[in-house]
Structure 1
Amino acid sequence: MDARIVFTLGAVFATSAAFAGPVTSAPDPEHGKDLAQRLCSNCHLVDSGQSHASVDIPSFREIAGKEGQTEGAIMAAIVIPKHPMPVIPITKTELEDLAAYIMTLREPNER
């Protein structure tokens, strides 16, 4: 490969990385809450401000409060849902954010 092309590609990647900002891997529960309100509130109670949900569908607070509950278990239940939960098209980052939000609803004595 021509040295000019390699240098140019390197400069493009270095410049784009500088403008992209820092990369964080920590889940964002606030984004998870927004997703929950948009994607899950037709069936689940996702927060205390919601006034209705489907009968016999656990609230997010109940899901968070299950004994031994983890973010990984929540993500698995979303990725491989049991009937009647539908398959939800969601990215890995969104999945992590949603699980992090649900776990924020866990009572302190349940942690």
Structure 2
Amino acid sequence: MHANLRRLPLLLTVAASTYGSAALAADPDHGGDLARRWCASCHAVTSEQKQASADVPTFVAIARKPDFNPEKLALFLLDPHPKMPNFPLSRNEAADIAAYIGALR
């Protein structure tokens, strides 16, 4: 077997670990855009927002909860909820929104 072909699995593993984690990194800026588009009708998603539903927590309040965890929040956003509209979020979008909320701490 050619030496380069024998090293191919190792090279693919290194590439996946190097670039895979960067590709999966959450983007809080994109999460903020999504939040302003999809969440702001109920939640105050920015400090400048003047109107939101009074009976739902602001994103700052969510971020400041002692048990806040962006991974758990992203999973929560992917699960349908009776009190929340069913938005078809991808895993990356849910992670981006959770990262945005985490950045408000």
Q: TM-score if structure 2 supplies the norm length?
A: 0.73
CA–CA distance in structure 2, aligned partners of residues 39 and 62 of structure 1: 18
> Where do residues 26-65 of structure 1 align in structure 2 (5 Å cutoff)?
26-65=25-64
List alignment gaps of at least 5 residues for structure 1.
1-21, 107-111
Q: Larger helix proportion, structure 1 or 2?
A: 2
> For residue 91 of structure 2, what is the aligned residue in structure 1?
92
Letter in 2 for 1:30: D
Could you tell me which residue of structure 2 aligns to residue 7 of structure 1?
Answer: none
**AA in 2 matched with 1:90:** L
- Please tell me whether the aligned partners of residues 63 and 104 of structure 2 are also in contact (alpha carbons under 8 angstroms): yes
Which of 1 and 2 has greater Rg?
1
Give the direction of change, closer, same or farther, for the CA distance of 1:44–1:72 in structure 2 (3 Å limit): same
User: What TM-score do the two structures reach when normalised by structure 1?
Assistant: 0.70
- Count of paired positions: 85
1:44 is displaced (CA, Å) by 0.2
Cα drift, residue 98 of structure 1: 0.7
Report the CA distance between 1:67 and its aligned residue.
1.3
* Identical columns (%): 41
Structure 2, unmatched stretches of 5+, are 1-19
**How many angstroms apart in 2 are the aligned matches of 1:100 and 1:37?**
14
The 8 Å contact of residues 75 and 94 in structure 2, kept in 1 or not, is answered as no
In the alignment, is the contact (CA less than 8 A) between 1:78 and 1:87 conserved in 2? Answer: no
1:6 aligns to what?
A: none
1:56 counterpart letter in structure 2: D
Q: How big is the shift at 1:81? A: 4.4
Map 1:2-41 to 2 at 5 A: 24-41=23-40
Separation in structure 1 between the aligned mates of residue 33 and residue 25 of structure 2, nearest angstrom: 17
Matches within 5 A, 1:99-110: 99-106=98-105
Matched AA of 1:64: A
Structure 1 pair 76–25 and aligned structure 2 pair: CA distance change class (3 A): closer
